């Protein structure tokens, strides 16, 4: 019988700092995940943590990891050539097949951009797969902005609105929460528009409500939940909400389901 | 009140000497677990702890009191090493070749089936660490026709367990058994007698479980009900109820290294509790269910609603241990009754 807890080695090819505390680790891997799936990432003797896959090709996967705890602190000490240990991918991702030929709006807050970045890059490579892509992305302050180079590239093809909660003296861009910009967002045909919302719990709640106000049907809205998974395979219980296991049925949920997940 | 399951059955009558002899024979192939009394090991001074442990003779088995802890740790240890690390190698620990015999009451036998749903049936994979111990288990069911003062196994439908390997009636020093699994007939020798296993059919306490369809239709009402507020004030989030519960199965991963050789260490899983701080912490400081009343709601709803919705059977086996061990005298039984009342009243609105 296969040992479901046995991780495999993955070599770090490169490390790209995004902010002072967020680094993107590119790992040698032939995993082809669904957009929005996650891995259990570990360092032996330190610990294991669930991390969403922020991008992939058939030669590597990328994990954007914020330094916020024992495991991620240790991961931040690693250098190219070092090994990380991974198992997965786990969970259900975004059903991108159903998004074909539709208008897509992606609203991401902070590190919530990581689990949807691979979708944006998918459309960046194949813009014809969908009718139109609009991106709303918000960070706490200018120094927290992730994937700055990629955001610049996306601006060449798509409508991108970047905002920060609090600017500084040199900031000339938008300020304010993402929700502030939704009422004026150009949405041509709500029934034909898919909305993806990923970010902190409060951001997701109010962002979804704003999109509902704009007439987007509930079943067109998709979210991704962040929970602490210890196993990733429906045993440890940490991510359970009602009878739903976020690691199994999620982390990506349709709004019609996510609104029933009371916690 | 008790019920007769099958009539006209033959059993074997044993005296203590022949029972002990059977244990001796079995111990060559099996580790044998039963409720035991540990003198002076209770929480308070000069008190005993009744819990599960290995036995070698009849006098080791404690039958007069309910065990504080359940037999779940026999197949799901409190701390279980998943890997030994040496440099970059992962090594899975070996386990004992011997089988496992567990003397347990029907409620606790049923609790193993509840754990099976989580570890073997939930999600796409079987948990191989659980499975390799669980596959060894032989059920030696202890007849229980009276129960204890906090038992409500009849209400949860866990009062019967028919898939036993051997069934025992302990009547002081007169022991009668029904051997269903022929593999064990070689060990027990005694006089053939008429014997029909009996199961309890009425506990001192009866609990009305809420109708799950009614909860589904009134989920927000039940979740936001004021009945949970009391437990924000009373519960101290110690987690005793979940530790003593035979069906609580949550765990956390824990890595350690050895102090005298930091290059080597272990990955373990350790029991975790939804009642205790830190259970839902996510990176960056956010956590869910910060109020103790919310945690109580989460736990109770799992036992009587969520699990049943997912697996079609009530998770709680009605052993009443949570009520026995709560230092704040919180009664799960009362909470369940309140939920049932609230659901019935809410629905009639």
Specify the pLDDT at position B347: 58
Considering only CB atoms, B252 lies closest to which of A2, A69, A230, namely: A230
Q: Which residue of A has its CA nearest to B252?
A: A230
Give the Cα separation of B317 and B110 in Å (integer): 7
Give the Cα separation of B302 and A242 in Å (integer): 7
Chain-centroid distance, C-alpha A74 = 22
Provide the pairing of β-strand A159-164 with A132-139.
parallel
pTM: 0.93
pLDDT range class, residue B2, cuts 50, 70, 90 = very low
The answer to whether residue A69 neighbours chain B at the CB level (below 8 Å) is yes
Distance from CA of B328 to the nearest CA of A (A): 25
pLDDT, one tens digit per residue, over B232-260 is: 999 999 999 999 999 999 999 999 999 99
Chain-chain contact of B122 with A235 (C-beta, under 8 angstroms): yes
Q: What are the residue ranges spanned by the domains of chain A?
A: 8-90, 96-258
What is the arrangement of strands in the sheet containing A221-224, beginning at the earlier edge strand?
A174-175, A159-164, A132-139, A103-109, A193-198, A221-224, A252-254
Give the Cα separation of B235 and B326 in Å (integer): 9
Q: What are the residue ranges spanned by the domains of chain B?
A: 2-67+95-200
For domain A96-258, the question of CATH label 3.40.50.80 is answered with yes
Q: How many residues does chain A have?
A: 263
Considering only CB atoms, A236 lies closest to which of B252, B262, B310, namely: B252
pLDDT, one tens digit per residue, over B89-114 is: 889 999 989 999 999 999 999 999 99
pLDDT, one tens digit per residue, over A53-112 is: 999 999 999 999 999 989 999 999 999 999 999 999 999 999 999 999 999 999 999 999
Chain-chain contact of B88 with A247 (C-beta, under 8 angstroms): no
pLDDT in tens, chain A (263 residues): 789 999 999 999 999 999 999 999 999 999 999 999 999 999 999 999 999 999 999 999 999 999 998 999 999 999 999 999 999 999 999 999 999 999 999 999 999 999 999 999 999 999 999 999 999 999 999 999 999 999 999 999 999 999 999 989 999 999 999 999 999 999 999 999 999 999 999 999 999 999 999 999 999 999 999 998 999 999 999 999 999 999 999 999 999 999 999 88
> Which helix (H) or strand (E) is B313 found in, with range?
none
> Which helix (H) or strand (E) is B300 found in, with range?
helix B292-301
The answer to whether residue A1 neighbours chain B at the CB level (below 8 Å) is yes
Distance from CA of A23 to the nearest CA of B (A): 15
Q: Which residue of B has its CA nearest to A84?
A: B88
Superfamily holding A8-90:
Translation factors (2.40.30.10)
Bridge partners for B4 per DSSP: B198
The answer to whether residue A240 neighbours chain B at the CB level (below 8 Å) is yes
Smallest Cα–Cα separation from B318: which of B199, B170, B165? B199
Show the CA angle centred on residue A259, arms to residues A251 and B222, nearest 5°. 115
Evaluate whether B249 touches B118 at the Cβ level (below 8 Å): yes
Considering just the CA atoms, what is the radius of gyration of chain B in Å?
A: 22
| ipTM of the complex as predicted | 0.92
pLDDT, one tens digit per residue, over B308-334 is: 999 999 999 999 999 999 999 999 999
Chain-chain contact of A237 with B305 (C-beta, under 8 angstroms): no
Which residues neighbour A3 within 8 Å (Cβ) at sequence distance 6 or greater? B92, B128
Residues of B in contact with A236 (CB under 8 A): 250-253, 269, 272
């Amino acid at each position: 019988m296969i040992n479901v807890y046995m991780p495999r080695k993955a070599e770090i090819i490169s490390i790209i700092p995004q902010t002072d505390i967020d680094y993107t680790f590119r790992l040698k891997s032939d995993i082809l995940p669904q957009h929005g799936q996650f891995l259990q990432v570990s360092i032996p003797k330190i610990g294991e943590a669930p991390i969403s896959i922020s991008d992939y090709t058939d030669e590597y996967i990328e994990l954007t990891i914020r330094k916020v705890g024992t495991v991620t602190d240790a991961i931040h000490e690693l250098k190219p050539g070092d090994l990380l240990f991974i198992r997965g991918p786990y969970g259900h991702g975004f059903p991108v097949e159903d998004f074909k030929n539709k208008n897509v709006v992606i609203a991401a807050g902070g590190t919530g951009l990581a689990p949807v970045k691979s979708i944006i890059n998918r459309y960046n490579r194949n813009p014809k797969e969908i009718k139109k892509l609009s991106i709303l992305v918000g960070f706490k302050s200018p120094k927290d902005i992730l994937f700055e180079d990629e955001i610049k590239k996306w601006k060449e093809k798509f409508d991108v609105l970047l905002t920060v909660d609090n600017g500084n003296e040199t900031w000339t861009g938008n300020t304010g929460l993402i929700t502030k910009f939704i009422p004026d967002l150009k949405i041509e045909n709500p029934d034909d528009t898919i909305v993806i919302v990923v970010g902190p719990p409060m951001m997701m709640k109010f962002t979804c409500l704003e999109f509902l106000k704009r007439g987007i049907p509930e079943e067109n809205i998709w979210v991704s939940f962040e929970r602490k998974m210890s196993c990733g395979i429906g045993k440890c219980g940490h991510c359970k909400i009602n009878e739903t296991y976020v690691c199994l049925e999620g982390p990506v949920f349709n709004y019609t389901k996510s609104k029933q997940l009371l916690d | 009140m008790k019920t007769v399951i099958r009539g006209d059955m033959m059993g074997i009558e044993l005296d203590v000497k022949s029972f002990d002899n059977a244990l001796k024979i079995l111990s060559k192939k099996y580790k044998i677990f039963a409720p035991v009394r540990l003198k002076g090991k209770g929480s308070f001074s000069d008190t005993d702890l009744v819990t599960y442990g290995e036995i070698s003779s009849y006098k080791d088995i404690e039958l007069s009191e309910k065990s504080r802890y359940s037999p779940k740790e026999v197949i799901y240890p409190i701390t279980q090493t998943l890997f030994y690390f040496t440099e970059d190698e992962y090594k899975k620990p070996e386990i004992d070749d011997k089988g496992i015999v567990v003397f347990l009451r029907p409620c606790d036998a049923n609790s193993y089936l509840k754990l099976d749903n989580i570890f073997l049936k939930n999600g796409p994979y079987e948990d191989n660490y659980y499975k390799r111990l669980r596959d060894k288990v032989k059920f030696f069911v202890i007849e229980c026709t009276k129960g204890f003062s906090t038992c409500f196994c009849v209400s949860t439908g866990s009062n019967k367990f028919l898939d036993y390997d051997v069934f025992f009636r302990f009547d002081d020093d007169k022991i009668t058994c029904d051997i269903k699994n022929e593999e064990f007939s070689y060990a027990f020798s005694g006089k053939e007698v008429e014997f029909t296993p009996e199961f309890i059919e009425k506990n001192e306490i009866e609990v009305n479980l809420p109708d799950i369809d009614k909860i589904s239709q009134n989920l927000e009402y039940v979740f936001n009900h004021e009945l949970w507020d009391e437990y924000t004030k009373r519960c101290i989030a110690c987690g005793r109820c979940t530790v003593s519960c035979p069906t609580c199965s949550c765990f956390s991963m824990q890595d350690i290294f050895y102090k005298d050789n930091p290059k080597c260490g272990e990955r373990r899983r350790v029991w975790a509790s939804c009642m205790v701080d830190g259970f839902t912490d996510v990176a960056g400081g956010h956590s869910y269910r910060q109020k103790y009343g919310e945690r109580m709601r989460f736990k109770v709803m799992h036992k009587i609603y969520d699990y049943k919705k997912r697996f079609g059977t009530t998770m709680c086996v009605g052993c009443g241990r949570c009520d026995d061990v709560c230092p704040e005298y919180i009664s799960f039984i009362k909470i369940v009754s309140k939920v049932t009342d609230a659901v019935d009243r809410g629905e009639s609105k």
